[in-house]
Structure 1
Amino acid sequence: MSTLTLSYGRGHLPIRLPAGAQATVVRKQPLPKLTDPQAAIARALAQPIGAPGLAELARGRRSACILICDITRPVPNRLFLRPMVETMIASGIPLDRISILVATGLHRPNLGEELAELVGDPWVLEHVRVDNHDARDDSAHVDFGRTATRGTPVKIDRQFVEADLRIATGLVEPHFMAGWSGGRKVIAPGVAHHETIRTFHSARFMEDP
């Protein structure tokens, strides 16, 4: 009997194979590591692809809301949240008018040590308002009506909608059912009302989007 070791959670999971079993291990292609992540982030904020830099976007705005993925997504928030906040402050948005919203969708809130791990930067936790999205709080959403195609209710978190500058962060990765995950999904289902989520995340929509 042979054993394979798979990465699982924060550790590893041994998989014991019966004698004679032939296993094929599929690994992702190795990617080059950034030699200076902070410099790369600074460049990305100043010169993003196909868009104005964050400083320009923030200029003249009165408030800002930054969306981050919840604990189920391995996003290095500790590297970019503070540079983003500091850039917004330098462009004139008051610190007390900048918030971070955890895009939980229908997942549970991230609190305590888990929230600290998610944000990853003590300075951000101490100085910036950080909230969890609550998909079941009717009063915390703006109702945009229904889509013309299938009548899907469109309700999005009020804190995000009413911010003068709205920034969605996260990662884009292959999805086992839906092609790709991330990107605009940080908004819906990330900060959508439960009616919106249950409609377009339903089995019917998965089968025929």
Structure 2
Amino acid sequence: MKVDLLYGQNGFQIDLPEGINPTIIRKHAMTPLPDPPRAVQDALENPVECPPLSQLFRGRRSACILICDITRPVPNGTLLPPLVDALISGGISRENILILVATGLHRPNEGEELREIVGSNEVFDAIRVENHFARDKEAHVDLGETSKGIPIMIDRRFVEADL
């Protein structure tokens, strides 16, 4: 039996032996938002139980926005422009905003792939975008250990940002 799997941009097909009865698990259908960029803007301007984020950003000098690497599809092209605009409206300069790609132990994302992850040419061209390097111990801050003794090491650029 041939089964098509969604993976990457093109997916691939596998051939299962006869007698295998796979169960296909699908997520529940969700009604798409009529205007996703407007919904993001509204959420930033009217967050639950707190003032608009642009007010919370006031008095802060720097911001680090974490995004997933190429292995996790996220609509950054919809999310990042209004978030960057809110940071700037709150008084943080473009030069002090960093988008940090949370690569974990994956390889760094570069060139057109990095532009694709950011999803917005305007943001990519205006804001610094850098990869996290998990194996570079000097690039991390030691925040101690968990209750089970597991070391907590966080990227210095993230820890040192005001937001």
Structure-1-length-normalised TM-score: 0.70
Root-mean-square deviation (Å): 1.9
| Structure 2: gaps of 5 or more residues | none
| 1:21-80 deviation line (CA, Å, top 9, x unaligned) | 655433322110111111111111112234443212211111111011111111000111
Q: 2:129 matched to 1:130? A: yes
Residue type matched to 1:110 in 2? N
> Structure 1 residues 34, 145: closer, same or farther in 2, change over 3 A?
same
* Matched positions, count: 163
User: Which residue of structure 1 aligns with residue 91 of structure 2?
Assistant: 92
Q: Give 1:101 deviation, angstroms.
A: 0.5
Q: 2:93 matched to 1:117? A: no
User: Which residue of structure 1 aligns with residue 154 of structure 2?
Assistant: 156
Residue type matched to 1:108 in 2? R
Cα distance in structure 2, aligned partners of 1:117 and 1:106: 20
Residue range with higher mean Cα deviation, 17-26 or 73-82? 17-26
> Structure 1 residues 129, 23: closer, same or farther in 2, change over 3 A?
closer
Q: 2:5 matched to 1:6? A: yes
Q: Give 1:102 deviation, angstroms.
A: 0.5
Residue type matched to 1:144 in 2? L
Q: Give 1:145 deviation, angstroms.
A: 2.2
User: Which residue of structure 2 aligns with residue 180 of structure 1?
Assistant: none
Residue range with higher mean Cα deviation, 152-161 or 8-17? 8-17
Residue type matched to 2:65 in 1? I
Structure-2-length-normalised TM-score: 0.89
User: Which residue of structure 2 aligns with residue 35 of structure 1?
Assistant: 34
Cα distance in structure 2, aligned partners of 1:133 and 1:143: 15
| Structure 1: gaps of 5 or more residues | 166-209
Residue type matched to 1:71 in 2? I
Aligned-residue sequence identity (percent) comes to: 55
Cα distance in structure 1, aligned partners of 2:17 and 2:142: 56
Cα distance in structure 2, aligned partners of 1:138 and 1:18: 46
| 1:93-148 deviation line (CA, Å, top 9, x unaligned) | 1111111100111111110111011011111111111110011222211112223x
User: Which residue of structure 1 aligns with residue 67 of structure 2?
Assistant: 68
User: Which residue of structure 1 aligns with residue 103 of structure 2?
Assistant: 104
Q: 2:61 matched to 1:59? A: no
